[in-house]
């Protein structure tokens, strides 16, 4: 994290004070500015000659308004200067949000738009430093890599002794890539320049050859030898045609590397390691063929077999031919073995019946792999993978044991040696380097560069949607999406609205049911007899008529008895507490 902060501070320090100029008078102009620096944009020739104009950002946000030689509005007034006399608009302290599309609208005296123009302003981090690394390859070539710290969209160029590199000096790559391979005889003052639209930095290094010499001679057995060899280890020609050049010895470790090749198909491509072994399947069973010859470059006989007898083997001191399975094994491979080979099969009449060709090429194996990562100004991570030794290396990348996807890559591809990862990518990164004879990989645990993505609206109404460094973030107090979990109260309330609504609906239903029950009970009570409203019970009393002995009277045959009602009150209907039992006796009347 400290390294990341240091890199950002360094980039800001370098870009501070960087001033760029842009001519925005042409429609569709492309302008560039340095992060933290200044850009001067030529909007028009003379502002005083135009009655009214407006300058917009992304077609919606007004940046500058001019009317009748007066600045009506300047959204950047605290860090910009507009000069009407020459029509230039100067913006200081550039930040990432300034990178946008800008539209200039001018109006005539009638208020009609007369000349709309558009320009694109891009903000870049400047290149801060350049590093050169060189290494000798197995055939005496020199691979040189050029890497830069910081800098968006870097472009590379190479010179040797003050002149642009030519194709005759390059074995692979081009003078516009960051990795080149120089031929064996190239030496001098090599300069790599890295530039983008706002900066240019270069690095130079004095290089010499890798100690290889080119020999062209005939060996004792009559074989013509024409190749590059290391001067200190040369045993092919006692008197080489070129003088050895003293340099650092190249250490190789290819002894013991064994490769296999199926040469039964015409046009087969075989590979071998220098100093190693190659096993070539020439045919299925040699004993079934009357005669065959194996030639190198169509002229030099390597193997001649007739009637299951080896007539001639030019490599007998370091090869083994097995007729039973048709394999030819070559040990201690050297550069002269790399050639085109032709197998000619003849029938019993001596006529050619079949001919096959194969190409044997040599490669130096990959010995080791190095990974280097650096954080860029926008939070991306650039990772470079370099290998020591190894011809024609091929690269592949995995993250957490899965192949890198385009969604994880900002630039480059999963088959290049330099990639740029997006801001949110982290995990176990593995770079594998392979060629036809070896495969080596290197892994590294990577984390993000401490950037967060914010999406908010500032106090002046500007929508901000970009990656920012978390420790220095002042654009949004509460970013909406960050690696650090921040709960948004409004979002939480909105998420619980359905639950709250369901609870309220249930309460309303229960309330309606309760009211309905109460109303039903009251309706039932209102339908009862009035006598029972106070909860009284009706009791019929049994009344016996007893005749008095003092007066004897003749009773009628039917004695009429009037029954009264005796009511017992459950609760008093008045506030007066009776002193006796709550009993009402009926009045008994006898009808005479």
Confidence of residue 197 (pLDDT cuts 50, 70, 90): confident
pLDDT given at position 478:
55
pTM of structure: 0.39
Would you state the structure tokens that stand for residue 480, as one six-digit string? 């909406």
- Cα separation, 166 vs 182, in Å, equals 10
pLDDT given at position 240:
39
Average of per-residue pLDDT across 205-215: 83
Residues with Cβ within 8 Å of 278's Cβ and at least 6 positions away in sequence, in order, are 258, 259, 260, 261, 270, 271, 272, 329, 330, 333, 360
Cα distance between the two ends of the chain = 124
Q: Where in the sequence of the chain do the CATH 2.60.40.10 domains occur?
A: 19-124, 127-207, 258-363, 366-446
pLDDT given at position 31:
92
β partners of residue 373: 383
Burial of 584 (0-12, 13-18, 19+ CB in 10 A): exposed
Confidence of residue 555 (pLDDT cuts 50, 70, 90): very low
39 or 224: whose pLDDT is higher? 39
Q: Are 466 and 454 in contact (CB under 8 A)?
A: yes
Q: Could you tell me whether strands 309-313 and 300-306 are parallel, antiparallel, or unpaired per DSSP bridges?
A: antiparallel
Would you state the structure tokens that stand for residue 453, as one six-digit string? 């993505």
- Cα separation, 159 vs 172, in Å, equals 15
Task: Judge whether residue 242 has pLDDT over 50.
Answer: no
Task: Judge whether residue 92 has pLDDT over 90.
Answer: yes
Task: Judge whether residue 479 has pLDDT over 50.
Answer: no
Would you state the structure tokens that stand for residue 223, as one six-digit string? 């074989």
Confidence of residue 545 (pLDDT cuts 50, 70, 90): low
- Cα separation, 338 vs 359, in Å, equals 8
pLDDT given at position 494:
58
Q: Are 272 and 362 in contact (CB under 8 A)?
A: yes
569 or 502: whose pLDDT is higher? 502
CA distances (Å), origin 582, targets 532, 536, 537, 565, 569: 17, 12, 13, 14, 7
β partners of residue 118: 103
Q: Which of 178, 145, 143 is nearest to 366 (CA)?
A: 143
pLDDT given at position 3:
41
- Cα separation, 84 vs 91, in Å, equals 15
Q: How many CA atoms lie within 13 A of 6 on its CB side?
A: 5
Q: Which top CATH class is 366-446?
A: mainly beta
CA distances (Å), origin 545, targets 10, 541, 542: 128, 13, 10
Task: Judge whether residue 128 has pLDDT over 50.
Answer: yes
pLDDT given at position 225:
76
- Cα separation, 161 vs 207, in Å, equals 11
Residues with Cβ within 8 Å of 93's Cβ and at least 6 positions away in sequence, in order, are 36, 38, 79
pLDDT given at position 477:
61
Mean pLDDT (the chain) is 77
Average of per-residue pLDDT across 45-61: 82
Choosing among 3.30.70.360, 3.40.50.1360, 1.20.120.350, 2.60.40.10, the CATH entry for 19-124 is 2.60.40.10
Burial string for 6-31 (b: 16+ CB within 10 Å, else e) reads ebbeebbebbeebebebebeeeebeb
Q: Which percentage of the chain shows pLDDT scores above 70? A: 77
pLDDT given at position 251:
35
* Residue count (the chain): 592
pLDDT given at position 328:
92
| Predicted confidence (pLDDT) per residue in 356-367, tens digit | 999 998 877 887
Q: Which of 431, 430, 425 is nearest to 394 (CA)?
A: 431
Confidence of residue 543 (pLDDT cuts 50, 70, 90): low
DSSP 408: T
Q: Which of 80, 85, 86, 96 is nearest to 39 (CA)?
A: 80
Q: Which fold has domain 258-363?
A: Immunoglobulin-like (2.60.40)
| Residue 4 backbone dihedrals phi, psi, to 5 degrees | -65, -45
Does 2.60.40.10 match the CATH number of domain 127-207?
A: yes
pLDDT given at position 200:
85
Residues with Cβ within 8 Å of 371's Cβ and at least 6 positions away in sequence, in order, are 383, 384, 385, 429, 431, 442, 443, 444
Task: Judge whether residue 9 has pLDDT over 70.
Answer: no
pLDDT given at position 41:
92
């Amino acid at each position: 994290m400290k390294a990341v902060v240091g890199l950002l501070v360094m980039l800001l320090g370098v870009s501070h004070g960087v001033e760029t100029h842009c001519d925005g008078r042409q429609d569709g102009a492309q302008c560039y500015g340095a992060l933290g620096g200044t850009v001067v944009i030529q909007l028009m020739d003379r502002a005083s000659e135009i009655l009214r104009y407006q300058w917009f950002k992304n077609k919606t946000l007004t940046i500058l308004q001019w009317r009748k030689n007066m600045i009506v509005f300047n959204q950047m007034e605290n860090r910009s200067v507009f000069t009407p006399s020459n029509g230039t608009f100067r913006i200081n302290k550039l930040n990432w949000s300034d990178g946008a599309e800008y539209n200039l609208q001018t109006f005539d005296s009638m208020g009609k738009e007369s000349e709309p123009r558009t320009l694109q302003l891009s903000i870049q981090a400047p290149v801060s430093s350049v590093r050169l690394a060189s290494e000798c390859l197995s055939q005496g070539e020199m691979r040189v890599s050029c890497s830069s710290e910081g800098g968006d969209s870097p472009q590379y160029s190479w010179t040797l002794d003050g002149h642009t590199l030519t194709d005759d000096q390059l074995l692979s790559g081009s003078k516009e890539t960051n990795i080149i391979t120089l031929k064996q005889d190239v030496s001098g003052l090599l300069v790599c320049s890295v530039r983008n639209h706002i900066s240019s930095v270069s690095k130079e290094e004095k290089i010499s050859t890798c100690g290889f010499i080119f020999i062209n001679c005939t060996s004792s057995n009559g074989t013509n030898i024409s190749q590059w060899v290391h001067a200190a280890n040369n045993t092919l020609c006692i008197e080489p045609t070129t003088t050895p050049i003293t340099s650092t010895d190249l250490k190789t470790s290819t002894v013991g590397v064994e490769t296999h090749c199926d040469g039964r198909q015409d046009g087969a491509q075989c590979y071998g390691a220098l100093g190693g072994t190659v096993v070539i399947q020439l045919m299925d069973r040699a004993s079934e063929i009357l005669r065959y010859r194996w030639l190198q470059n169509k002229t030099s006989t390597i193997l001649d077999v007739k009637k299951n007898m080896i007539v001639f083997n030019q490599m007998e001191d370091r090869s083994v031919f097995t007729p039973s399975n048709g394999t030819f094994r070559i040990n201690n491979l050297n550069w002269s073995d790399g050639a085109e080979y032709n197998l000619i099969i003849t029938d019993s009449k001596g006529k050619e019946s079949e001919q096959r060709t194969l190409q044997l090429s040599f490669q130096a194996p990959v010995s080791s792999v190095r990974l280097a990562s650096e954080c860029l100004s926008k939070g991306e991570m650039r990772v470079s993978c370099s290998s020591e030794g190894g011809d024609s290396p091929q690269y592949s990348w995995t993250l957490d044991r899965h192949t890198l996807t385009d969604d994880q890559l900002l630039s480059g591809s999963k088959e290049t040696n330099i990639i740029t990862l997006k801001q949110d990518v982290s995990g176990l990164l593995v770079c594998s380097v392979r060629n036809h004879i070896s495969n080596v990989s290197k892994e590294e645990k990577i984390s993000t560069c401490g950037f967060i993505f914010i999406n908010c609206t500032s106090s002046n109404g500007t929508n901000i949607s970009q990656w920012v460094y978390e420790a220095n973030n002042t654009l949004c107090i509460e970013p909406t999406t960050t690696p650090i979990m921040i709960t948004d109260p409004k979002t939480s309330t909105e998420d619980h609205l359905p639950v709250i609504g369901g609870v309220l609906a249930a309460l309303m239903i229960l309330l309606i049911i309760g009211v309905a029950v109460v109303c039903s009970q009251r309706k039932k009570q209102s339908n009862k007899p009035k006598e029972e409203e106070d909860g009284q019970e009706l009791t019929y009393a049994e009344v016996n008529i007893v005749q008095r002995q003092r007066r004897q009277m003749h009773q009628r045959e039917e004695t009429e008895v009037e029954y009264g009602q005796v009511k017992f009150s459950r609760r008093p209907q008045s506030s007066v507490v009776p002193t006796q039992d709550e009993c009402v006796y009926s009045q008994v009347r006898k009808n005479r």
